Amino acid sequence: MKSVRVGLMGLGTVGGGTATVLMRNAEDITRRVGRSIEIVRAAAREINEQTIFPAETTVKLSEDAWDVVNDPDVDVVVELIGGYSPARELVLKAIENGKHVVTANKALIAMHGEEIFAAANEKGVSVCYEAAVAGGIPIIKAMREGLAGNKIEWLAGIINGTGNFILTEMRDKGRDFDDVLKEAQALGYAEVDPTFDVEGIDAAHKLTILASIAFGIPLQFEKTFTEGISKVTTEDVTYAEELGYRIKHLGVARRTDKGIEMRVHPTLIPAKRLIANVDGVMNAVLVHGDAVGPTLYYGAGAGAEPTASAVVADIADVARTFESSVENKVAALGYQTGQEADINVLTSDDFETAYYLRLHVEDRPGVLAEVARIFAEQGISIEAVIQKEPQTEGSKVSLILLTQKVQEKRMNAALAKVEAANISESVTRIRVEHLG
């Protein structure tokens, strides 16, 4: 049977890992797929003698990615460059040339997936992207295929390893955010510009994809509420522990009577939940289906070979269905073309969550009563209170509140009144999810 010929764009961490896994496990992959998979061309910014390929390699090497997409001998283009451009242009050209595409690029799929999938359907080729979300965890296949019989009610995921590493170090060692971020950069977990990781953009790209698969809605990154972890303090982490919670940077997508919630933000989770105990750079996604109930997917969210595991699985899927028509393949986002649901995506005003609040107030009688009165006016119930002792006489104290579930616009109104009344200079708020 004819082998499937692969062209790699990018020989960095993931590209190198993909080549290594394909070559090392070639025999097992062939036995599983029914045909061999061979790398025939690869491109990287710099090609030197110390490549990952053996000295006797027949792989054609180039410093121009366009050589890969325009090579008539390439059947499957694997895009591991990252970013929006030129990745988008290269992928669209590969599709135009009748080539299947495998990518690990979550930003590309979240922002341009609709255009790319439409072009692929037109040309009758596949676009696979398992490695775009949660590294080596096969969450795309699990949701799209394994849970196809379910109506997905909600999902929640730790889907950025850098943020999880930072919050874990803050909790376990009492370190400040800035201190841990520097270490994350030194270890290679965070980029020199860490904005995508610590401000939630990377996680929002991934949540956009997961929500589309879960609910059969178009990819809508611009409607995903996004909040990072840069304002989380060791004080908040400590108080959360005292209350029986842990702070995680969580992506949440939920189906409600009013529409779909898509949000990424720091979140208090009860410490007894399995997902609250996912530490370091590991990822986990909790999916709740109406038939199966809760299912948890855990593993390495990044790294050369864990991510390569997902990339190679996609290449294997393409190889298995190499000669099948597009109508007989699993739809890219799980729902057939034209069957997408027109469901409203909610703005943050309509989110309903419980809250952790930290106020900085004067140590005087009646402060809590004033706050309680304002909250009562907005229909907000207080579930727990911690008031700390002042550090010095006359100094302000931290007042910690846990609320029951409330619509966010009500909370916004209440906090505006608290600040207007000069009760607290500022209020820290972190949403709470019980994931029951």
pLDDT in tens, 29-72: 999 999 999 999 999 988 876 678 888 889 999 999 999 999 99
In 3D space, the residue among 222, 263, 229, 266 whose CA is nearest the CA of residue 245 turns out to be 266
Percent of the residues in the chain that have a pLDDT greater than 70, as a whole number: 98
Answer for the pair 38, 53: CB distance below 8 angstroms, yes or no.
Answer: no
- Do the Cβ atoms of 336 and 388 come closer than 8 Å? no
Pairing of strands 225-226, 260-270: parallel
Active site residue 206: yes
- What is the mean pLDDT of the segment spanning 99-109? 98
248-257: average pLDDT: 97
185-230 pLDDT, tens digit per residue, is 999 999 999 999 999 999 999 999 999 999 999 999 999 999 999 9
Whether 364 has a pLDDT exceeding 80, the answer reads yes
CATH architecture label of 139-299: 2-Layer Sandwich (3.30)
Dist. CA 152–CA 418, nearest whole Å: 38
Q: What percent of the chain has pLDDT over 90?
A: 86
Location of each CATH 3.30.70.260 domain in the chain: 348-432
Give the residue range(s) of CATH 3.30.360.10 domains in the chain.
Answer: 139-299
48-54 long-range contacts (CB < 8 A, ≥24 apart) are 51/11, 52/11, 52/16, 52/19, 52/20, 53/19, 53/23
pLDDT at 303: 92
- Give the residue with greater pLDDT, 340 vs 81: 81
Element spanning 283, H or E: strand 282-289
pLDDT of residue 46: 85
* Per-residue pLDDT at 337 exceeds 90: no
Q: Report the topology of domain 4-135+304-328.
A: Rossmann fold (3.40.50)
Whole-number average pLDDT of the chain: 94
- Residue 391 binned pLDDT confidence (cut-offs 50, 70, 90): low
In this structure, CATH architecture of domain 348-432: 2-Layer Sandwich (3.30)
Residue spans in the chain of domains classed CATH 3.40.50.720? 4-135+304-328
Check 99, 106, 206, 248 and give the catalytic one.
Answer: 206
- pTM higher than the cut 0.85: yes
